[in-house]
């Protein structure tokens, strides 16, 4: 039997539908363009009528204000004067016509556009500044073999700098720079030279953001406003497992948090660090100079962590920066000595193994994880390299060597490690700390080389020499580098702390449940229940291999 051919409508229906859809799209675009043209033409034709109507409205408003400002005892005389003028105008030949013409002229004058005309170009001082920028860029953006150079001494700077904005002080606020295609914009050193030059010529003391468009051969330079430094510690609207490290520019993040800033409610873009089982950056390393705000960052993290978990604090500086947390609910230990630090970190390592074993047994039995393994545990270490030197001198075990288990398996056990160290002791940090702390924060003044060595990538802004406490950069894993300002979380027992910031920290502290002199050792806290006797301890490596 011969096969019947398909109907023509089935074989050509999809093509006809595509053609009709394309035709409808074209007609829609054409009608939208016609509507826009008609609207522009109508606005041009009706512009005199719009101007006169706006002027009449302004004249009427002025008359109402005049009537309201006139005292009541003089309003009768004013009405008599207006009536007399109207009568004279009505009796004069061509009076009403002249009155209407005069009213229309006054309305047209009052309804005119009063916006000042924008200048055709910058003033002479700003022009000289742009010419100086152009001449400074000539050695970097020119080549002897270029037949039509965009940059040449005495050349046309308006082609190379087509867009520019200035602030109130006359300095460059935004600048669009075009450069030739043969410039090596893919090399870090070439970019750094241009950024350093523009920072010097556009005005020092400010931070600039550099947006390199390699496809279009354009560079956009923007002067950034300083980040607010007066945001005090407070309860942030975050989910469990989210920690606010600080605040940044609105152009780098898509999320905002409602905050109380300067007595007003406003939305500020935050830098949120996510921890937990599905976190790709479970541990954090903060680096800075003395007084740069690393202890402030750790106090801010501790106050946020105490909402849903427990905290163990090990302070190597011995300055008592965390005395306000001693004996609080959820604070398992605040150690400042070598013996206490070693004991606390040993307990954390043991607790990590206990949680892994308990979770593994529950999974093998088909049960959910035990409740005592779900509560997050935070380990905050401020300057742990101090204990490294003390342990070497006293013949004890280095506390950093005990951090290998919490750092390697802490994500699966619900344990987060935060380390804060200074620049002069950064080389003394152990390899486990460097390898497993993928979230990085740099506070205080630092060079571009130092920032890249810690963050793993250079920032898109120029660092400044004078920075307020808590000001720096943050990078979470392989993400972008953010400008960062840590919320003001000072030591409430410090006499130099303002009353507003002291009270803000005291309001966030948990209740004191244990007297300071009777605080138990972390090895005897509720997070370490009495273990059941086991025939043989199971190595943590075997547990991880079996669970995987």
Name the residue range of residue 155's domain.
Answer: 124-224
Other CB atoms closer than 10 Å to residue 242's CB: what's the count? 15
Which of the listed residues 224, 259, 286 is the one where a domain comes to its end? 224
Average pLDDT over residues 182-207: 86
The answer to whether residue 407 sits within a structural domain is yes
* Domain-located, residue 409: yes
**One domain for residues 281 and 332:** yes
List pLDDT tens digits, range 104-145.
888 888 777 666 555 555 678 888 889 999 999 999 999 888
CB atoms near residue 537 (< 10 Å)? 8
Outline where 138-204 has alpha helix (H): 157-160, 188-202
Q: Is the pLDDT of residue 545 over 80?
A: no
Q: Could you read off the pLDDT of 483-520 as tens digits, one per residue?
A: 999 999 999 998 888 898 999 999 999 998 765 454 44
Does any domain span residue 232? Answer: no
Spatial CB neighbours of 435, under 8 Å, sequence gap ≥ 6: 407
Q: What is the pLDDT of residue 372?
A: 87
Task: Write out the binding residues for ATP.
Answer: 288-295
The answer to whether residues 495 and 524 belong to one domain is: yes
Same domain, 420 and 469: yes
The pLDDT assigned to 520 comes to 47
Residues 474 and 364 in one domain: yes
User: 476 and 342, same structural domain?
Assistant: yes
Assess whether 218 and 338 both reside in one domain: no
Do 491 and 343 share a structural domain? yes
Tell me, yes or no, whether 448 lies in a domain.
yes
The rounded percent of the chain whose pLDDT value lies above 90 is: 36
Give me the residues paired with residue 257 across strands.
268
Query: Residues in the chain, how many?
Result: 548
Q: Once rounded to an integer, what is the mean pLDDT over residues 420-449?
A: 91
Q: What is the CATH number of the domain that holds 282?
A: 3.40.50.300
**Given pLDDT bands bounded at 50, 70 and 90, which one contains residue 8?**
very low
Q: How do residues 354-374 score in pLDDT, each as one tens digit?
A: 999 999 999 999 999 898 888
106 lies in the same domain as 130? no
The total number of structural domains in the chain stands at 3
Does any domain span residue 353? yes
From first CA to last CA, the distance across the chain in angstroms is 61
Residue 130 shares a structural domain with residue 106: no
270 and 128 in a common domain: no
The whole-angstrom separation of Cα 20 and Cα 33 is 20
Q: What is the mean pLDDT of residues 176-199?
A: 90
Q: Which residues are annotated as a binding site?
A: 288-295
- Cα separation values, 510 from 307, 329, 525, Å: 9, 6, 17
* Residue finishing a domain among 55, 88, 110: 110
In this structure, the answer to whether residues 532 and 392 fall within a common structural domain is: yes
318 within 8 A of 339, measured Cβ to Cβ: no
What percent of the chain clears pLDDT 70, i.e. is strictly above it?
A: 84
Of 193, 224, 255, the one marking the end of a domain is 224
The per-residue pLDDT for 346 is: 93
- pLDDT at residue 59 greater than cutoff 80: yes
Model pLDDT for residues 237-281, shown as the tens digit of each residue: 898 899 999 999 887 788 888 887 767 788 889 999 999 888 889
Does residue 247 sit within a domain?
yes
Is 538 a domain residue? yes
Q: pLDDT tens digit string along 405-433?
A: 999 999 999 999 999 999 998 998 989 99
Encoding tokens for residue 161? 């700098």
In a domain, 248, yes or no: yes
Assigned token pair, 317: 């500086």
- The mean of the pLDDT values for the chain is 83
Contact (CB, 8 A) for 321 and 491: yes
My answer on whether 261 and 137 are in the same domain is no
| Cα distances (angstroms) measured from residue 394 to each of 314, 347, 546 | 18, 21, 39
């Amino acid at each position: 039997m011969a096969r019947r051919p398909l109907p023509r409508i089935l074989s050509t229906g999809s093509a006809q539908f595509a053609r009709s859809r394309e035709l409808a799209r074209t007609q829609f675009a054409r009608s939208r363009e016609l509507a826009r043209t008609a609207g522009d033409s109508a606005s041009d034709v009706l512009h005199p009528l719009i101007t006169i109507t706006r002027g009449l409205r302004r004249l009427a408003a002025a008359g109402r204000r005049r009537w309201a400002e006139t005292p009541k005892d003089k309003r009768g005389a004013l009405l008599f004067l207006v009536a007399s003028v109207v009568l004279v105008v009505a009796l004069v030949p061509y009076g009403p016509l002249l009155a209407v013409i005069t009213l229309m002229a006054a309305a047209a004058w009052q309804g005119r556009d009063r916006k000042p005309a924008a200048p055709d170009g910058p003033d002479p001082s700003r022009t000289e500044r742009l010419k100086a920028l152009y001449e400074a860029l000539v050695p970097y953006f020119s080549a002897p073999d270029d037949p039509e150079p965009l940059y040449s001494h005495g050349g046309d700077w308006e082609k190379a700098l087509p867009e520019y904005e200035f602030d109130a002080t006359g300095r460059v606020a935004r600048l669009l720079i075009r450069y030739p295609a043969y410039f090596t914009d893919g090399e870090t050193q070439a970019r750094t030279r241009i950024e350093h030059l523009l920072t010097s010529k556009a005005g020092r003391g400010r931070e600039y953001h550099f947006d390199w468009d390699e496809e279009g051969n354009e560079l956009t330079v923007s002067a950034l406003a300083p980040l607010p430094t007066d945001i005090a510690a407070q309860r942030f609207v975050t989910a469990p497992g989210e920690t606010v490290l600080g605040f940044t520019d609105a152009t780098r993040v898509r999320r905002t948090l409602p905050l109380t800033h300067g007595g007003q409610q406003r939305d500020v873009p935050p830098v949120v660090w996510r921890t937990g089982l599905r976190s790709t950056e479970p541990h954090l390393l903060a680096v800075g100079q003395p007084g740069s705000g690393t202890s402030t960052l750790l106090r801010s993290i501790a106050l946020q962590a105490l909402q849903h978990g427990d905290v163990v604090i090990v302070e190597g500086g011995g300055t008592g920066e965390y005395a306000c947390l001693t004996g609080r609910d959820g604070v398992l230990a605040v150690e400042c000595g070598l013996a206490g630090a070693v004991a606390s970190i040993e307990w954390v390592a043991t607790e990590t193994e206990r949680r892994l074993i308990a979770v593994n047994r529950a999974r093998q039995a088909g049960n959910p994880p035990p409740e005592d393994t779900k509560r997050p545990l935070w380990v905050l270490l401020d300057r742990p390299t101090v204990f490294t030197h003390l342990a070497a001198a006293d013949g004890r075990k280095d506390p950093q060597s005990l951090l290998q288990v919490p750092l390697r398996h802490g994500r699966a056990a619900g344990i987060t490690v935060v380390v804060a160290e200074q620049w002069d002791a950064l080389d003394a940090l152990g390899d486990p700390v460097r390898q497993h702390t993928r979230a990085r924060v740099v506070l205080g003044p630092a060079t571009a080389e130092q920032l890249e060595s810690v963050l793993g990538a250079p920032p898109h802004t120029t660092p400044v020499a004078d920075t307020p406490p808590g000001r720096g950069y943050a990078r979470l894993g392989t993400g972008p580098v953010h400008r960062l300002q840590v919320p003001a979380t000072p030591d409430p027992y410090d006499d130099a702390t303002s009353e507003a910031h002291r009270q803000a920290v005291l309001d966030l502290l948990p209740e004191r449940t244990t007297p300071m002199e009777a605080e138990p050792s972390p090895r005897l806290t509720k997070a370490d229940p009495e273990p059941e006797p086991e025939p043989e301890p199971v190595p943590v490596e075997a547990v991880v291999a079996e669970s995987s």
